[in-house]
Amino acid sequence: MTSPLAWGVLGTGIIANIFAQGLRALGTGALVAVGSRTQAAADRFGEKYAIARCHGSYGGLLADEDVQAVYISTPHALHAEWAIKAAKAGKHILCEKPLAINYREAMSIIEAARRNDVFLMEAFMYRCHPQTTRLIELLRSGMIGKIHAMQVTFSFHTPFHLENRLLNYALGGGSILDVGCYCTSMARLIAGTALGQDCAEPDEVVGAAHIGVLSHVDEYAVASLTFPGGILAQLFAGVQVMGNNVVHIFGSEGSILVPKPWVPEGEHSTIVIKRNDEQRVQEISVESRTPLYTLEAATVAEYIETRQAPAMNWQDTLGNMKTLDRWRASVGMSYAADLI
């Protein structure tokens, strides 16, 4: 982009606020508008971030001619509807993960982006961080030999309120879609790296989950993935139990631990390497002075002309959604959107 990208935020929840803060540090874009379900919510968000164009509906934001790109931060169940409408309105799209409830919806979104010639990226912010780039470089270098297995976790404990989107069945709540998508994405990325590809698709997906009696969503879940080449992955996701939230990769000559894979904190993050023939661990520091969501928005601006970014291209997104579908099917977790 030769001129700053004019952003609109669709939704005014917690993640929308974090993204708005990230845009403040961005030289290639600016937040010019916001759309919410009510005018009052839009006005409050606009006052907080000095936004003049505050729309009391999502449709109003998409009709705003000054908006070039939209960040969709609604609950999961609304992603497909508003991403498709954004594409038809000619807006470039950064949509929060997961891109959709299922593979069918994701295909519809991507087809809408293709038909209307707009940029589209699923917002996995960790994929835009230099720590992830460095991890892939280390794996490709053969630092720990041939990759055999990995443990990938993302789990936290949220207060139990059924109106909370994380536990709300109608909004696509549950651990597999909300944070299991990160675990799946990382496992496919690591396995793909081991196989000389951008990402890999598992041959087998076997899961187990606790589905809440009151929430009717998977409150915590595990999965075992088998990739080509004998690569195994153990995934653990949860919204009702605190996990370690790490990535641990085991190879023929050692192991790599990423202590903070999803939200690296501060200007330095660390990757820990333990080789079989060495007593001490090696800590590799990765420097980044740019906030995560600023990096994400900058990635959109950098690749907007090609309509896809290397961090979560459309093929990667579809592969991730397909694996999530298989995980949910394995544990008997389905939504209304699966029945259409």
| Percent share of the chain, pLDDT over 70 | 99
- Which structural domains are found in the chain, ordered by start? 5-124 (3.40.50.720), 126-295+320-339 (3.30.360.10)
Q: Which two tokens stand for residue 105?
A: 């919806």
Structure confidence at residue 121 as a pLDDT band (50, 70, 90): very high
Residue 266 pLDDT exceeds 80: no
* CB crowding 182-210: b at 16 or more within 10 Å, else e: bbbbbbbbbbbbbeeeebbbbeebebebb
Residue 86 pLDDT exceeds 70: yes
CA 102/CA 323 separation, integer angstroms: 10
DSSP for residue 266 = S
Q: What is the pLDDT of residues 176-192, one digit of tens each?
A: 999 999 999 999 999 99
Mean pLDDT, rounded, for 113-117: 98
Q: What is the pTM of this model?
A: 0.96
Q: Output the pLDDT for position 2.
A: 57
The β-bridge partners of 286 are 269
Mean pLDDT, rounded, for 267-284: 92
Q: How many CB atoms lie within 10 A of CB 15?
A: 17
125: Cβ–Cβ under 8 A, 6 or more apart, which residues?
263, 292, 293, 295, 296
| Nearest partner of 211 among 175, 162, 236, 177, judged by Cα | 175
| Percent share of the chain, pLDDT over 90 | 92
Residue 267 pLDDT exceeds 80: no
Mean pLDDT, rounded, for 115-131: 97
DSSP for residue 225 = E
Q: Are 171 and 37 in contact (CB under 8 A)?
A: no
CA 273/CA 290 separation, integer angstroms: 25
Q: Pick the residue with more confidence: 329 or 287?
A: 329
Dihedrals phi, psi of 153, to nearest 5 degrees: -130, 145
Q: Output the pLDDT for position 237.
A: 98
Residue 94 pLDDT exceeds 60: yes
Q: What is the pLDDT of residues 214-250, one digit of tens each?
A: 999 999 999 999 999 999 999 999 999 999 999 999 9
Q: Are 74 and 10 in contact (CB under 8 A)?
A: yes
